[in-house]
Amino acid sequence: MASNDINWPERYYPDASAVHVVNSLQMDASSEAVWSYLIRATDWPDWYPNASNVRLLDAASDTLELGTRFRWKTFGMTIECTVEEFQPTERLAWSSESFGMSVYHAWLISPQPQGCYVVTEETQNGFIPSIAKALMPGRMHKFHQIWLEQLNEVSKDSY
């Protein structure tokens, strides 16, 4: 079920998308710790097995910021993304446009009495996501859950 707290651009709203995936996890780490790992995209391959070759493009720092463009390989494809939403320790979202595919990926981080609750949600449009959904149902959900679980593992060491 789509989160009402995500600021979906109209063209990416879940009801209008070919693919919509939601994952969430109660984490044993603070919002600040989770955020610090999430915005260091070039380090994702160290702890998330579905990320490789992450490069920040024309970035002012070594972490994601509003407007940062980055290129990375995930699900066997190299994609270029732009950070569209950036509210430290609370919200992060990026979009990607490429041949046959458009993507919007959002993260929500909510502090809890013990750690934080994290939601990651993605929508995709185009013929590539439609084919992938038919041929490999559940694949994105599986890997996004691994992403959350690994994020929890690395972040809780900082908590």
1 inside domain: no
* pLDDT attached to residue 134: 66
Q: What is the pLDDT, as a whole number, of residue 38?
A: 98
Q: Is residue 2 part of a domain?
A: no
| Host domain of residue 91 | 15-156
Per the domain annotation, does 4 fall within a domain?
no
User: Does residue 9 lie within any of the structural domains?
Assistant: no
Q: What is the pLDDT of residue 115?
A: 95
> Does 81 fall in a domain?
yes
* Range 154-157, long-range pairs (CB < 8 A, 24+ positions): 154/37, 154/47, 155/27, 155/28, 155/29, 155/30, 155/33, 155/34, 155/36, 155/37, 156/27, 156/28, 156/29, 156/33, 156/115
Look at 137 and 41; give whichever has higher pLDDT: 41
pLDDT in tens, 100-145: 889 999 999 999 999 999 999 999 988 776 776 666 668 889 999 9
Number of domains the chain contains: 1
Please report, for the domain that includes residue 63, its CATH number: 3.30.530.20
- Per-residue pLDDT of 82-106, as tens digits, reads 999 999 999 999 999 988 889 999 9
